[in-house]
Amino acid sequence: MHPSKIVCAGRNYRAHAKELGSDVPSEPLLFLKATSSMITDGEAIQLPQWAGRVDFEGEIAVLIGSAARHVAKEDAWSHVAGVFPLNDVTARELQRSDGQWARAKSFDTFCPVGTPVPVAESDLAGLSVVTRVNGEIRQEGYARDMIFSLPELIAYASRAMTLREGDVISSGTPEGVGPLSPGDVVEVEIPGVGAVSNPVERDGG
């Protein structure tokens, strides 16, 4: 997977916005993660020693399969090649202090991704996400509870930027985010689709 961009949605579950003390957005709140933050199953999430609290955020993501520009939400799924789990790892204290999210979201290793499963093989109506830390369930959310659906997010993003084949759209995280520590193993699973599991280490830098 070599996207030109990783487009993410913030505060897309009401309970998650509430747990952060944030308002629910009236339209999709989009931000970008650096593509250099991507890792795959089994690779280690590196915690910067100076960055403060670092949280897991399990999400449902999609891989764009064909270029999309000014796409209607009714046509959005036709531009999607696959569905996969994504961990939007976040340096929480830096997110708050910076006022914008690019640095907090884009450290190397801060975007573990699973293997995309074709849309035709996915139960799109029943998509859900589960995050486990050391085998304990910490998050559980359903696509039906999103404020803005994946088709709505794709359509909204495509009004501002051309989504190219290979780009990633991630749909936001449900409530239950929490900090990671060295020695943890964090797993994000989309039941019926697959999982991405990563050990957590302290970054020596």
Q: Which residues of 108-141 are buried (b: 16+ CB within 10 A; e: fewer)?
A: ebbbbbbebbebeebeeeebbbbbbbeeeebbbb
pLDDT of residue 183: 98
C-alpha 139 chain-centroid distance: 13
Rounded distance, CA 109 to CA 155, Å?
28
182 CB-near residues (< 8 Å, 6+ apart): 47, 200, 201, 202
Whether the predicted pLDDT of 23 surpasses 80 = no
List of domains in the chain: 6-202 (3.90.850.10)
Model pLDDT, residue 1: 83
Q: What share of the chain is helix, strand, coil (3-state, %, to 5)?
A: 25, 35, 40
pTM: 0.95
Tens digits of per-residue pLDDT, 182-198? 999 999 999 999 999 99
pLDDT digits (tens, 9 = 90+) for 29-78: 999 999 999 999 999 999 998 899 999 999 999 999 999 999 999 999 99
